[in-house]
A and B are shown apart, each in its own frame.
Chain A
């Protein structure tokens, strides 16, 4: 596709369940980012992948959160044992090269609701 694609667009889960969120970046974009946006708040950085370099995981809020990326393509964000405070919109973005080289292209986001 032409843009960043995220799935699912909406996910409702029960507290304690695991969830997986998927991101398909724009083809050829080497950098991929995950952000979280809680209701009424700004974007909170989670993790950043750049090519074959070790990912910057400094924004992951706890060890329940993890993310993987296969080469320069799909990324999966996994949240284990979900908690109600995990409810948010999870945004994925990609860029051609690192962020210092240009703009980020965002997906529509995955809205997670933990009951």
Chain B
């Protein structure tokens, strides 16, 4: 069964600091990978996704993620965070076989201090 691990549960950064949130998945086959974000008081929304092709994926608001197949990782990065990036971030995976719904990680709460 597919699973997703997010090792950083709570991250506190100052504005302009660089961000990297870890995401590892356990599934040996072909996968689709996603990062979702939930801003305070809002619903979950897609930040970026990887289906195939260039393993470096760019999303909204300056976020990017790199798929490293050999490490089963899909880490989220941003060079310079803003206060408005304060939110909870969820990594998710969908395997091409088996369950056809997304499996989510436990989430990382990011707090950006002005």
* A interface residues, Cβ below 8 angstroms from B: 3-4, 33, 35, 41-43, 45, 48, 50, 56, 58-59, 91, 93, 98-100, 103-104, 106-109
Contacts and interface: CB of A to CB of B under 8 A. Distances in A.
- Size bracket, chain B contacts: 20 to 34
B57 to A, nearest CB: 13
Interface string B32-56: 1010100000011110010100000
A99 B106 contact: no
Contacts of B45: 106
Interface string B98-114: 01111111110000000
Interface of B: 6, 32, 34, 36, 43-46, 49, 51, 90, 94, 96, 99-107
Majority SS of interface residues in chain B? loop
A71 B64 CA distance: 37
A10 to B, nearest CB: 14
Contacts, number: 57
B102 A107 contact: no
B90 to A, nearest CB: 7
Nearest to A109: B43
B58 to A, nearest CB: 15
Closest 10 CB pairs of A and B: A42-B106, A43-B104, A106-B44, A48-B101, A103-B46, A106-B43, A42-B104, A99-B94, A108-B43, A42-B107
Question: Which residue among A43, A56, A103, A109 has the maximum number of chain B CB atoms within 10 Å of its CB?
Answer: A43
A100 B96 contact: yes
Contact of B102 (A3, A58, A99): A99
5 contacts: A3-B43, A35-B104, A48-B100, A93-B44, A100-B51
A50 B107 CA distance: 26
B91 to A, nearest CB: 9
Contacts of A45: 99, 101-104
